[in-house]
Structure 1
Amino acid sequence: MLQTARQPRHLALLALATVFAVVFVALGFWQYGVAQQDAREEALREGPRQPIVALDELVAPYEPFPSNGSLRRVTTSGTYDADQQFLVPGRVLEGERGYWVVAPVVVDTTGARLPILRGFVTDPDQAAPPPAGKVRITGALAPSDSPVDVGPLPPGQRGSIEVATLINEWGGEVYNAFLFVIAQDPAEPTSAMQPVPPPAPEVDGLDWRNLGYALQWWVFALFAYYLWWRSVREDHLDEVARQEAAHSSPPPESPPGDHPAPDVPEGTHV
């Protein structure tokens, strides 16, 4: 069959099948991206619809971050520990580089500390102390940052909101999470600190309808090669049948009048 596949006609068909397969695979990946985007948009639409719950209904101090807690809206109340405020450099908001301003709130119900991302400043001098007294905060819950190695930093600055390090330094009980502030009462004392919006959720799911379309395109790519293989196979079988017919045919009969004359003994007259 390999010889049949090497025929110019089948080589041309193979090249055409490859062109179609490449196009179909590309369309499949495009549809796969659409499936991911649709899932992300659905998650963004569903996020604000989730009910706001009390912090302690979703997570407790020292507990692992809940699997369904990322960017979930929660509310809590407590008092800022202004002495533990710190800055996270190298952050960007609306194209400007600056600092996150983070301070822990001692939660009323547990006495544990919860890091609060108060806002963003472009200059460390703009990071005013947090409001004194009791505050009520509504925000989006986020897991601990990964450690970031940014080299030596000035006092009062950290590379990230890494809760494991904060636990060792703050002592006492600490939540294994931090909060993006959405609303706070009383509000921040300075307008120089801009609120940091919660990030878009990282969505691993897919829109199943568009995923089905992607799989269809990839099946079409395989089908193009199947059609080429079938064409080669049929031509090969036809060639084998012709060869078998040629080998099994009986030898041709001699035409009348071509038979040799019988031998006649000498001296015999006919």
Structure 2
Amino acid sequence: MSSTDSVPPQASTAAFAPTLREVMLRPWWLGMLAFALLVAAVFAWLGQWQLSRAVDTSPPPPGQTEQVRPLADVAEPGEYLPEPLVGQRVEVSGSFVAGDFDVVSSRFDRGEEGYWVTGQLRVDPESARSSEPTSLAVAVGWTSDRAEADAVAAALDADPPQDVVLTGRIISDEGPALLGRGAGPQEMTRMSPAALLSRWHDTAGLDVYRGYLTSAESFGGLTAIHSPAPEERSNVNWLNIFYAVEWAVFAGFAFYMWYRLAKDAWEKELEDLEDEHEDADVPAAGSAPSGRD
């Protein structure tokens, strides 16, 4: 019996089988590792970017929204209202435009549903700090009675207040919304200056503020709109922190995928070596077993 005949098949296979470390150090898998490093670096950068936006290092001072400021210092026509200034109390002067008062439904005041009457305020050039005609949508009062809201809107259309100085809160456009079942085609359930603009008169060359004003002073006998101060914002954005953690997990997953694929290739190579060894040990058909006559 030869010395090789005494070596078990498993030991013979193990003698030629590569280790997982040897497979990982092959050029192909080193190249895949470099690619995983690149992907992880991109994910890490995105996580760092999210983290840098998660903490506001210069939050607005407490009570800032309660200081009455000129409208021109807070917002510009056609521009979105910055988030820290949503709900800021402002002062503006101008005159309302006849025929441009509307009723907006689904307005809640201290938990009670009702209606707002709104109008187009043509802002004075000095208040707008612009020589171009400029308008601001203003909610001038609230009522729980639709008939009263319609009557006040009609009365203000006929005799719009002129040369008024208003204070109130500047609020972001609520945007459009689908009308509920049974609502009329002209029904408005959202306070949207963009939607009101399509109903206003004399709008050629008109600049319009994207936000709207809830007037502290009511008109036409309506109830003054209850518009409380916005809640003080935290200087930590937890959603951004969650996103940063997600990017860190993705970065780690890139390394895990490289390891898992390399290990799968190593295990497949071991299986192939075992199959080749088993095929070599099977005697040819019709041949006599070794060591027997």
- Which TM-score applies when normalising by structure 1? 0.51
- Matched with 2:166 is 136
Answer yes or no: is 1:115 the counterpart of 2:137: yes
Q: 1:211 to 1:147 in 2, by over 3 A?
A: closer
In the TM superposition, residue 87 of structure 1 has moved relative to its aligned partner by: 0.8
In 1, the alpha carbon distance for the partners of 2:184 and 2:229 equals 27
Alpha carbons 1:119, 1:195 under 8 Å: kept: no
In the TM superposition, residue 100 of structure 1 has moved relative to its aligned partner by: 2.1
Amino acid at match of 1:139: R
In 2, the alpha carbon distance for the partners of 1:239 and 1:148 equals 62
Select which of 220, 225, 230 maps to 1:194: 225
In 1, the alpha carbon distance for the partners of 2:267 and 2:178 equals 64
Larger radius of gyration: 1
In 2, the alpha carbon distance for the partners of 1:208 and 1:159 equals 32
**Aligned residues, how many?**
208
Alpha carbons 1:142, 1:180 under 8 Å: kept: no
Give ranges in structure 1 of 5+ residues lacking alignment: 1-31, 261-270
In 2, the alpha carbon distance for the partners of 1:121 and 1:59 equals 30
Alpha carbons 2:101, 2:119 under 8 Å: kept: yes
Bigger shift: 222-231 or 93-102?
222-231
Q: How big is the alpha-carbon RMSD for the aligned residues of Structure 1 and Structure 2?
A: 5.1
Amino acid at match of 2:245: Y
Amino acid at match of 1:140: I
Amino acid at match of 2:243: L
Alpha carbons 1:113, 1:174 under 8 Å: kept: yes
Select which of 186, 190, 210 maps to 1:177: 210
What is the 5 A alignment of 1:11-22? none
In 1, the alpha carbon distance for the partners of 2:178 and 2:239 equals 34
Give ranges in structure 2 of 5+ residues lacking alignment: 1-46, 126-130, 284-288
In 2, the alpha carbon distance for the partners of 1:165 and 1:140 equals 16
Alpha carbons 1:99, 1:120 under 8 Å: kept: yes
Q: 1:209 to 1:164 in 2, by over 3 A?
A: closer
Q: 1:55 to 1:139 in 2, by over 3 A?
A: farther
- Which TM-score applies when normalising by structure 2? 0.48
In 1, the alpha carbon distance for the partners of 2:172 and 2:229 equals 9
In the TM superposition, residue 68 of structure 1 has moved relative to its aligned partner by: 5.2
Select which of 50, 54, 61 maps to 2:71: 54
Secondary structure of residue in 2 paired with 1:177: strand
Q: 1:98 to 1:57 in 2, by over 3 A?
A: closer
In the TM superposition, residue 198 of structure 1 has moved relative to its aligned partner by: 8.7
Alpha carbons 1:126, 1:192 under 8 Å: kept: no
In the TM superposition, residue 221 of structure 1 has moved relative to its aligned partner by: 6.2
Answer yes or no: is 1:103 the counterpart of 2:119: yes
In 1, the alpha carbon distance for the partners of 2:174 and 2:207 equals 11
In the TM superposition, residue 206 of structure 1 has moved relative to its aligned partner by: 8.3
Encode CA deviations 1:103-136: one digit per residue, 9 max, x unaligned.
Answer: 2222121554321123432223555668765213
What is the 5 A alignment of 1:238-257? 238-246=270-278
In 2, the alpha carbon distance for the partners of 1:165 and 1:103 equals 9
Encode CA deviations 1:181-232: one digit per residue, 9 max, x unaligned.
Answer: 2x64xx336573333469999xxx9855432211234456677776665554
